[in-house]
Amino acid sequence: QITLKESGPTLVKPTQTLTLTCTFSGFSLSTSGVGVGWIRQPPGKALEWLALIYWNDDKRYSPSLKSRLTITKDTSKNQVVLTMTNMDPVDTATYYCARITVTRAVDYWGQGTLVTVSS
């Protein structure tokens, strides 16, 4: 059974750095073809791709957010960490981590975590 779960703060202040951890089970990020990514969804709005990392440490970022994002993996802990700097109220959203295939299909999703940016 494949599961993913996001963890991190639910409230951050403007200009702070957000750090989210995705802990997964049922698969290994050392297996060829496997990736884990982050996707967010502001309240009432559409999904937005953020970043992904593959088994071979290949990383891809949203062009519009690339300067603010860093994605890393700890294969031994089955974890992927996303950091986003200089948070702003417009970054308020539900943040999902998910397993990604090489053809960029998201086949398993976490439950999501709502992050609110407010002073």
Partner 1 sequence: QSALTQPASVSGSPGQSITISCTGTSSDVGGYNYVSWYQQHPGKAPKLMIYEVSNRPSGVPDRFSGSKSGNTASLTISGLQAEDEADYYCSSYTSSSTSVVFGGGTKLTVL
| Residues 90-119 contacting partner 1, CB under 8 A | 96, 101, 103-107, 109-112
The neighbouring-strand residues paired with 116 are: 11
Binding mask 28-67 for partner 1 (x = CB under 8 A): ---------x-x------xxxx--x-------xxxxx---
Q: How far apart are CA 117 and CA 28, in angstroms?
A: 32
Q: Considering the complex, state which of residue 60 and residue 79 has its C-beta at the smaller distance from partner 1.
A: 60
Minimum CB separation from partner 1 for residue 45, in Å? 8
55 or 109: CB nearest partner 1: 109
The nearer residue to partner 1, 32 or 63, going by C-beta atoms, is 63
Q: What is the CA radius of gyration of the chain?
A: 13
Given a contact cutoff of 8 angstroms between Cβ atoms, the answer to whether 4 and 24 are in contact is yes
Contacts of 64 (CB under 8 A, 6+ apart): none
Q: Which two tokens stand for residue 23?
A: 């802990």
Closest distance between partner 1 and the C-beta of residue 107, in Å?
5
CA distance 109 to 90: 23
**Minimum distance from residue 38 beta carbon to partner 1 (Å):** 11
